[in-house]
Amino acid sequence: MTDNSPFLIVGLGNPGREYRDNRHNIGFMLADRLAVRLNLRLNRMQSKALVGSVVYDSRKLLLAKPQTFMNLSGQAVQGLVRFYKLPLENFLLVYDDLDLPFDTIRLRPDGGSAGQKGVASTIQRLGTQAFPRLRLGIGRPPGRMDPADYVLQDFPQTDLTLLSEFLDRAADAALMFVSEGLDATMNKFNGAGNGE
């Protein structure tokens, strides 16, 4: 965390009202939760994303929601990273993860896409897997349900209270990433008992 480069937090999702409450859109939900907390509007179109900016902890922080569909998310990320000349350690990608139980947060400094198409697009566009990410667990589909169908379902009503608490905790993690860096945030939020 050198120099005064801005920070960029990108939440992944699909644009459009019909996708708004889908499990796949938890990255968008987190961006919206952060926008409310920071009293910020994501109402500027830039690099195929809705973007807003604010000063947080004396650093410029950009929040973005790509307006391409999920599998093209990397276009928006690449455009924003280049435009703001961001070092990748100042970039945080937020997305849903089937391999983590619902209500579980995991931060990582790098890694593959594990089949998440928005992450795959971002890796392809940036030409590297070496960027921080915040994985938000949505759990595995029940029985033999196709994961592609599962992620495009809305969160059930019974999960909404827990989802709200989960988003608050994830927002804490995202903001701690900006103010204290990835290692400190991983130490705090990746521990056992997360979401228990």
- Tens of pLDDT, residue by residue over 114-147, are 999 999 999 999 999 999 999 999 999 999 999 9
Instruction: Decide if 195 is inside a domain.
Output: no
Instruction: Decide if 1 is inside a domain.
Output: no
Determine contact, residues 86/5, Cβ cutoff 8 Å: yes
Catalytic residues: 24
How many Å apart are CA 29 and CA 6, to the nearest integer?
22
Secondary structure, 3-state, 5-57: CCEEEEECCCCCHHHCCEHHHHHHHHHHHHHHHCCCCCCEEECCEEEEEEEEC
pLDDT at 4: 81
pLDDT at 192 over 80: no
Instruction: Decide if 194 is inside a domain.
Output: no
Instruction: Decide if 178 is inside a domain.
Output: yes
Domain at 155, CATH number: 3.40.50.1470
Helices (H) and strands (E) in the chain, counts: 6, 7
Instruction: Decide if 2 is inside a domain.
Output: no
Instruction: Decide if 43 is inside a domain.
Output: yes
Instruction: Decide if 77 is inside a domain.
Output: yes
Tell me what the mean pLDDT of segment 86-102 comes to: 96
- pTM assigned to the model: 0.95
Domain that holds residue 61: 7-189
Instruction: Decide if 125 is inside a domain.
Output: yes
Pairing of strands 59-66, 44-46: unpaired
Which secondary structure element, helix H or strand E, spans residue 79, and what is its range?
A: helix 73-83
Q: How many domains does the chain have?
A: 1
How many Å apart are CA 168 and CA 34, to the nearest integer?
9
pLDDT at 19 over 50: yes
pLDDT at 191: 62
pLDDT at 195 over 60: no
How many Å apart are CA 175 and CA 177, to the nearest integer?
5
